[in-house]
Structure 1
């Protein structure tokens, strides 16, 4: 586990984006797992800026987003699909047919999860996955529990998760959907490379648990300790509870 600590979120995001750009350049057909939410926003902004300056070629890359709201169509402005269009996809030359998304508006969510899992397996799994960690230690929408699910599944949101996503729904938690479709822990742990983002003092205890704590489903992120190649990108406040294992 390689831990990178920067003075500010912006510095961390810029360095992380540069590393992703390097990976896409070195492996043009890279399969990327991409998150949503507030945490990766600055990374996406930096990738867009790099695209404008260096004309990165995304045309052969493939993307799989980690989650989508149940009940929202891709055209809904609150969907994670719309989020990715606004913040990344419309600014880079990704081919539409190479962008993979869960469809939260389907009638059979279990069938949709099976379809998505099969599509990802057909691509050989994730070459690089970018993930954020929640203050409670969740990854994607794999929340703390007495057990974790390996495969793509439908998950109910906790009150805290709905509050954390209220910024995308007019700061009104009551407007946040009650459920989400999410990749399971298997796709994340089995990725060939993982990059985790955590910014702010409110993430410090989750970072400590994922780096130094025991493997436990009460902190899903702790299972990244088993990953073959994981980088943890932090600002100074998020790293404040660590015992000094930084690079």
Structure 2
């Protein structure tokens, strides 16, 4: 894995957006996965600006969503679909060729996971998969204890995920479960990317990148991925001991 540290959040965000732009310049029909949450907001802003200025062409690429809260869709403030709609798709002058997101209201979530898995496989896998990291080391909604070899799957939410997840909603919201791409998708992605910012993430970043590789810390899988790229701002990297 390659770790890159930037002076601040905006510099890190610009670097991630530049990685996406480079990928699309080299392969315009790339399949890319974006997360939702606090970490990718700056990256999406830079990418939207670049696309609307004509510096990046999104018209031939395909996007697939990382995860979703069970029972929610784009009309639910705080949902992943709502986030991507308002921070990316609604702001683009030209839309991507394809957008495939989880239907977290589907009556059969296992079948929905199979649909997403089949879609990714038919595309030849993910060209780039960008993830943030939770305070417990989760990637997407792959919570502690999740096997590294799973593709998309329904997920039982850890208590801290339910607690921290409340920040995305206007009022206290019952979160009953999740649906997410799996850690195997990350491992098989041609370019797996982790982004993290802020001092509050320093501890889990250090544990994930320098601690034991185990399923109790899902993000520790990154230590096994030589092709992974980790982009951090200085506060998030402050707990690392290795150069």
- With normalisation by structure 1, the TM-score equals 0.92
Distance 1:196 1:176 in 2: 28
Over aligned residues, Cα RMSD in angstroms? 1.7
Distance 1:2 1:58 in 2: 26
Equivalenced residue count is 242
State the match for 1:223 in structure 2: 221
Q: How does 1:90-105 map to 2 (within 5 A)?
A: 90-92=90-92, 93-95=94-96, 98-105=98-105
- Distance in 1 (CA, whole Å) between partners of 2:174 and 2:86 is 19
Q: Secondary structure at the match of 1:233?
A: strand
* Aligned-pair CA distance for 1:231: 1.1
Cα shift readout 1:135-178 (whole Å, capped 9, x = no counterpart) = 211111001127455121111222211222222211x4x31422
Compute the TM-score of the two structures, normalised by the length of structure 2. 0.93
**Equivalent residue runs for 1:1-247 within 5 Å:** 1-92=1-92, 93-95=94-96, 98-145=98-145, 147-148=147-148, 150-170=150-170, 172=171, 174-245=172-243
What stretches of structure 1 of length at least 5 have no aligned partner? Answer: none
Instruction: Give distance in 2, aligned partners of 1:147 and 1:113.
Output: 16
Q: CA deviation at 1:122?
A: 0.8
Preserved CA contact (<8 Å) 1:188 1:194: yes
Q: Following the alignment from structure 1 to structure 2, what is the Cα–Cα distance between the partners of residues 163 and 149?
A: 27
Residues 155 and 181, structure 1, Cα contact 8 Å, conserved in 2: yes
The 1-side partners of 2:15 and 2:116 are apart by: 31
For structure 2, list consecutive stretches of 5 or more residues without a partner in the other structure.
none
Give CA-to-partner distance per residue, 1:34-67, whole Å, 9 cap, x none. 1111111111111112223334211111111110
SS in 2 for 1:90: helix
SS in structure 1 of the partner of residue 229 of structure 2: strand
